[in-house]
Structure 1
């Protein structure tokens, strides 16, 4: 038996189809090859900004509750399916030794 060092890549299954995106609260891992299914969270670009939205039916619902559907979807670019979020717990700027 040979132990393997645990890495974020191994834990999150990051491969050539995945991208790690820095967010305001940490990082997000998206898979650009996965086909979105109902209820999946997607990284989208709309109106010159990136945000997360859930797929419900033929609509995307953003984190602030806005539903994007119909012709408004023409202005949306889907980057990939969110597979993992890595949140920053906290940062001690003055650690005690």
Structure 2
């Protein structure tokens, strides 16, 4: 049986911008639950890989209000986070003055 890569979107239809999580077909990842917000700013996937539980979380935070949004979201999902959780975030924040340049 050939294993296939999977892509799970933060938004429901996958046709607009939002976060996504790709899983490799080389590992036997089995999805149990998928939780996401309406805007596609985060997705949380609970599953198993090699007989072990794992939770994958991908969060997008715009540079306006990012700190407040991340704090609120992490507070909401704190009961879902454990030592087998991987959290990835995209802050969309310039790191240097050159990053802010429009030229």
Larger radius of gyration between Structure 1 and Structure 2:
1
Higher-helix-fraction structure? 2
User: TM-score of the superposition, structure 1-length normalised?
Assistant: 0.25
Higher-strand-fraction structure? 1
Q: Relative contact order (alpha carbons < 8 A, sep ≥ 6): 1 or 2 greater? A: 1
